[in-house]
Structure 1
Amino acid sequence: MTVEFQITGERIAGTEALIRPHIRHTPVLRVDMADFGRAALPVDLKLELFQHSGSFKARGAFANLLTREIPGAGVVAASGGNHGAAVAYAAMRLGVPAAIFVPEVSPKAKTDRIRSYGAELVIGGQLYAEALAASEARATGTGALQIHAFNQPETLLGQGTLGKEIEADLPDIDTLLVAVGGGGLIGGIAGWFAGRVRIVAVEPEEAPTLHRALEAGEPVDAPAGGIAADSLAPKRVGTLMFPVAQAFVERSVLVSDEDIAAAQQALWDNVRVVAEPGGAAAFAALLSGKYIPAPGERVAVLVCGGNTTAVKFG
């Protein structure tokens, strides 16, 4: 596979300097797994769900809007919800028209957020792939700029700024657990660390996009179901991130829907963090025992999104 685009620390750092005025430096929370009914283990939660628009996606959205030429027709994006909300937010802040295409599985919490930022919202099919096709047709017909959720250089560089921020916050970690859908997030982060930290992918059993790709040696179609389908279930990972994953992602760990739901509830019950299914997936690997750290291993978990109303409050 030949991919001309290269994710480098220098390019990520340049992107970070450009978008920094528009994004938040999100907090880190140290927890002990003993508080979750597991063996004692200090774990750092990087709470990127507190980013503008409710997820890490704001980084990639601003990277696109600030580095690419925006036509008069504005921008168009397809999304399970978070990317769309981020593009809508960035477009609102920068005064750019935006049309966001989402599949029917997108939850109300996400579609409401997109509308709140003033973007045009279009329901484009049952799954992400259908929404993407509809958005591409709109871009072709209007001349609007298509902003891809994960398979776009600027998107990867923007998400990579989160890796830079995590290293500044937690310079001594051994392992970082990251949820994967299309792979823009883990691709950018792995590109930043370039092997300095063990990067472990976490995916739903019902949407194992990177898992299947690593087995096949190239991006291939995978199932696109489960409770995190609105954020972690494209048909396949991006071609731009895949060589990075091959080089710098140690493995892919699969978690069940039950694991993810339990992680969502545990985060709320113990630390009052409201994570969406995709945002809780990485923590689910640790809570369920699907990922077992070695003795003395310093582990960080990325909680990457919080656009949900699915947690039982009480």
Structure 2
Amino acid sequence: MNREQVEAAARRFSQARVQFLLRTPLWKLPGAMFGAEGAQVWLKLEQFQAGGSFKARGMLNRLLANDIPASGVIVASGGNAGIATAVAAKALGVRCEVFVPTVSSPAKQAKLRELGAHLVVTGDAYADALEACLARQRETGALLTHAYDQPEVVAGAGTLAKEIEEDGGLPDSVLVSVGGGGLIAGIASWFEDRARVVALEPELAPTLHASRAAGEPVDVKVAGIAADSLGAKRIGAIAWDVTQRHVHDALLLPDAAIRDAQLWLWKTMKLAVEPAAALPVAALQTGLYKPRAGETVCLVICGANLDPATLS
């Protein structure tokens, strides 16, 4: 995975017959708002993306780069990748089948049905849904989109980083939530070592952190407030390779801090985001990541597929 693949994805988007991806805002704010005196904080507001998360970029790139059979496309997801695939499939006029685990939020399941996807709810975790999805794909021959571990998916996610640099210049650091690792792999592939890319995970879903401790990708138990989005039990092969080369920090956050940051974003800034999107804010507010004076730190706010009632 490299910058050239991200560039190719961006060109594919610009040349596509369907234009539904959004160029999401980049807010520049004083670090003092986040407890980071002397720093400048950028928010890349990807929760405003089509389908409610960054995932639309990778899924559209996957569909545009391949011939789609009559059986359509198929995906296993905690929710966001499924929604993104369904959004892209609807725009292209093709059938979409989505497998989600029982941990997937009712709000995400409702959104999938609204988009016209054929929804299958099965298994306790993402890995269970993926197993069922792969069995079904072998039957139908549908084009498989993986939530985070396909080159086109990762390259599509990387276009987010390309936009950050085009709209704001090169940040000193970028804080990114990690589940299976597609987003951080795309971002780190674009920035390489020109910016410090920091991986953030919940303590109850330490996929990358545990793999680094073991020296190789390993399965972990996943639970907690962000499990529907960051619930991959093993880091993706592409993400493992890219993060080994370009990501030096993998930090863990408790659920309480993630929830506090999520509520702060809503109550203070009127940004309704899911727990997975709040980890970068939590990292600053807790002091887990401490920017140096004058540092420009970009927080990737990755998604907003949530039940608004949970923000009360």
- Cα distance in 2 for partners of 1:153, 1:313 equals 35
Task: Give the direction of change, closer, same or farther, for the CA distance of 1:311–1:266 in structure 2 (3 Å limit).
Answer: farther
Q: Deviations over 1:170-196 (max 9, x none)?
A: 213100000000000000110111111
Equivalent position of 1:237 in the other structure: 235
Deviation (angstroms), 1:312:
5.6
- Cα distance in 2 for partners of 1:105, 1:241 equals 24
Q: Deviations over 1:221-244 (max 9, x none)?
A: 122111000010111111122111
Deviation (angstroms), 1:313:
5.2
Equivalent residues in 2 for 1:102-113, closer than 5 Å: 102-113=100-111
Q: Which moved more, 1:36-45 or 1:230-239?
A: 36-45
Equivalent position of 2:7 in the other structure: 13
Equivalent position of 2:182 in the other structure: 184
- Cα distance in 1 for partners of 2:280, 2:94 equals 34
- Cα distance in 1 for partners of 2:34, 2:160 equals 26
- Cα distance in 1 for partners of 2:140, 2:164 equals 39
Equivalent position of 2:252 in the other structure: 254
Equivalent position of 1:4 in the other structure: none
Equivalent position of 1:44 in the other structure: 42
Deviation (angstroms), 1:38:
6.1
Deviation (angstroms), 1:218:
1.7
Residue 114 of structure 1, aligned match among 112, 115, 123: 112
- Cα distance in 2 for partners of 1:39, 1:212 equals 32
1:19 maps to a residue whose letter is F
Equivalent position of 1:209 in the other structure: 207
1:151 maps to a residue whose letter is D
- Cα distance in 2 for partners of 1:69, 1:211 equals 36
Residue 279 of structure 2, aligned match among 272, 278, 281: 281
1:166 and 2:164 are equivalent in the alignment? yes
- Cα distance in 1 for partners of 2:238, 2:186 equals 10
**SS of match in other structure, 1:237:** coil
**SS of match in other structure, 1:230:** coil
1:172 maps to a residue whose letter is L
Deviation (angstroms), 1:106:
0.7
Per the normalisation by structure 2, the TM-score is 0.95
Residue 82 of structure 1, aligned match among 77, 80, 83: 80
Give the conservation status (yes or no) of the 8 Å contact 2:37–2:293.
no
1:272 maps to a residue whose letter is K
Deviation (angstroms), 1:40:
5.7
- Cα distance in 2 for partners of 1:15, 1:82 equals 20
Residue 306 of structure 1, aligned match among 297, 304, 307: 304
Q: Deviations over 1:5-30 (max 9, x none)?
A: xx121221111111243311000122
Q: Deviations over 1:240-269 (max 9, x none)?
A: 221110110121110010011001011111
- Cα distance in 2 for partners of 1:311, 1:297 equals 36
Per the normalisation by structure 1, the TM-score is 0.94
Give the conservation status (yes or no) of the 8 Å contact 2:40–2:295.
no
Task: Give the direction of change, closer, same or farther, for the CA distance of 1:38–1:175 in structure 2 (3 Å limit).
Answer: closer
Equivalent position of 2:136 in the other structure: 138
Give the conservation status (yes or no) of the 8 Å contact 1:35–1:270.
no
- Cα distance in 2 for partners of 1:310, 1:208 equals 27
Deviation (angstroms), 1:42:
2.7
Unaligned runs of at least 5 residues, structure 1: 1-6
Q: Which moved more, 1:157-166 or 1:181-190?
A: 157-166
Q: Which moved more, 1:302-311 or 1:157-166?
A: 302-311
Q: Deviations over 1:44-88 (max 9, x none)?
A: 110000000000000011011100121111111000000000000
- Cα distance in 1 for partners of 2:249, 2:33 equals 27
1:202 maps to a residue whose letter is L
Task: Give the direction of change, closer, same or farther, for the CA distance of 1:173–1:34 in structure 2 (3 Å limit).
Answer: same
Unaligned runs of at least 5 residues, structure 2: none
Deviation (angstroms), 1:309:
1.9
Q: Percent identity?
A: 47
Deviation (angstroms), 1:39:
4.0
- Cα distance in 2 for partners of 1:36, 1:182 equals 27
Deviation (angstroms), 1:41:
3.8
Give the conservation status (yes or no) of the 8 Å contact 1:268–1:311.
no
Aligned residues: 308
Equivalent position of 2:26 in the other structure: 28
RMSD: 1.5
